[in-house]
Amino acid sequence: MSSARPPFDAVVEVLNTYFDGLYHSDTGRLARVFHPRAIYASVSEGALLYRTMAEYFPVVAARPAPAARAEVRRDRILSVSFAGPATAVAQVNCALGDRFFTDCLTLILDEGRWQIISKVFHHDPLNG
């Protein structure tokens, strides 16, 4: 493994664009940070929820943007770790509507840029 410093700043930039995309319900921003073959999964509601990006982006586009409702942003990067020069894992929090999310995001360096290849998450009621 190379002794070069992992590109932490580049991953944080992807995560900040991810947060902005969610807050503004902006699928254009999200498309810049998600790999086209990324997966989206959760079992927060008791059964597996699995989506491709083609299935996920229309859901985001159809929901009212938190920004339009002037919701307080609760974005937070909990951790970023590198499994190698082209693989990173980030754990983040954010709130959308009445839900508080913990997202486990796996990122890869593909074609010269960091992209989210998987989003596995859990959500709880925001005030629960």
Question: What pTM, to 2 d.p., does this model score?
Answer: 0.92
Note the pLDDT of residue 127: 81
* E strand spans, the chain: 34-42, 49-52, 76-84, 87-96, 99-110, 113-125
Name the band, by pLDDT with cuts 50, 70 and 90, for residue 32: very high
Name the band, by pLDDT with cuts 50, 70 and 90, for residue 53: very high
Note the pLDDT of residue 110: 96
Q: Which domains does the chain have, with CATH numbers?
A: 8-125 (3.10.450.50)
Instruction: State the residue for tokens 């700043």.
Output: 9
Note the pLDDT of residue 4: 47
Structure confidence by residue, pLDDT tens digits, 90-111: 999 999 999 999 999 999 999 9
3-state secondary structure of 67: helix
Q: Which two tokens stand for residue 47?
A: 């059964």
